[in-house]
Amino acid sequence: MHFELSEEHRMIREAAREFAQELKPGVIERDELAKFPFDFVKKMGELGFMGMMVPEEYGGAGMDALAYVLVLEEIAKIDASTAVIMSAHNSLVCYGLNAFGTEEQKQKYLKPLASGEKLGAFALSEPEAGSDATSQHTTAIDMGDYYLLNGTKNWITNGGNSDIYLIIAQTDVEKGHRGINVLIVEKGMDGFTIGPKENKLGIRSSDTHSLMFSDTKVPKANRIGEEGFGFKFAMKTLDGGRIGIAAQALGIAAGAYDLALAYSKERKTFGKPISEHQAIQFKLADMEVEIEAARLLTYKAAWKKDQGLPYGKEAAMAKLHASEVAMKHTVEAVQIHGGYGYVKEYHVERLMRDAKITQIYEGTSEIQRLVIAREILR
């Protein structure tokens, strides 16, 4: 077992760390104004961060899942909104097309996505179907050489600014989950409209929208996989997505810890830095232990994916633990800062707000426990 990063991985992490510092000056304003970071998304494309695990022949960087996790962690330390834009694009869209798309689909859609020329979104959740992927009310009726798409998708990350969307829809209700398909939909198709941007608690500069389809014609050539492959596609894609969410949560927690540690050495009470008070030392020690445990779980899940080994349980474990650590210890970071922690300029209150969503998207903490239990009880 090796616990040291390779030279290549260290270089990738350093590049991400340098990029993350560019995000910091305007991060508070973007959060307040819910302003999408267009320029930084473009820069991520130039750095190879928008198609990290896609082969170079399709415009990607050809890196592994561990490299992807390292980059996400560093970006999320500073700006979780930019991290989630990158994560959804990589884990859910590029991965799905690369793993299951046809050569024609890869040439037409994956290449511009992996290079960062275009942005992608994955649409599974609905008003009545969040974590329950089998209850799809969005329908894709087979009309011969095309599908007629009708329905609504909710809580879609990158929903407003994407060019390409992967839509999960029910084609044959009688077949249940075996009658679900995944379709590639382009912005601008007739009958496809985008709802208002959600006004969120956290990750405010990422855009989250509802998508509405009314008799949208989607060519049969835009179906990914065989007829009825949609449910399997969603489940396989979400496993990788959980690694991305774990990395985001890890970064949020680590970013809050770094700020709390630095502040504890500067802030003085009773004539000495608060870091010398045992109560603060206990908090910092707990943060260090639990964040490092989350890091090891996340890196292990990424490593198993890279080795071609089953990683569903490990991804769920990493997502569960890292998200709970992020929520717990961003709160502690605010506490260590005292009154200053409640003020935006110290950043920790934003990280606390950003942390909460990591317990919700890609399946709630309760869903992760069900996934883990199902695996260990087999």
From the candidates 4, 362, 366, 375, give the one annotated as an active-site residue. Answer: 362
Spell out the SS3 assignment of the chain. Answer: CCCCCCHHHHHHHHHHHHHHHHHHHHHHHHHHHCCCCHHHHHHHHHHCCCCCCCCHHHCCCCCCHHHHHHHHHHHHHHCHHHHHHHHHHHHHHHHHHHHHCCHHHHHHHHHHHHCCCCCEEEECCECCECCCCCCCCCEEEECCCEEEEEEEEEEEECCCCCCEEEEEEECCHHHHHHHEEEEEEECCCCCEEECCCCCCCCCCCCCEEEEEEEEEEEEHHHECCCCCCHHHHHHHHHHHHHHHHHHHHHHHHHHHHHHHHHHHHHCEECCEEHHHCHHHHHHHHHHHHHHHHHHHHHHHHHHHHHCCCCCHHHHHHHHHHHHHHHHHHHHHHHHHHHHHHHCHHHCHHHHHHHHHHCCCCCCCHHHHHHHHHHHHCC
Counting every residue written for the chain, the total comes to 378
Active-site residue 14, yes or no? no
Residues known to be catalytic: 362
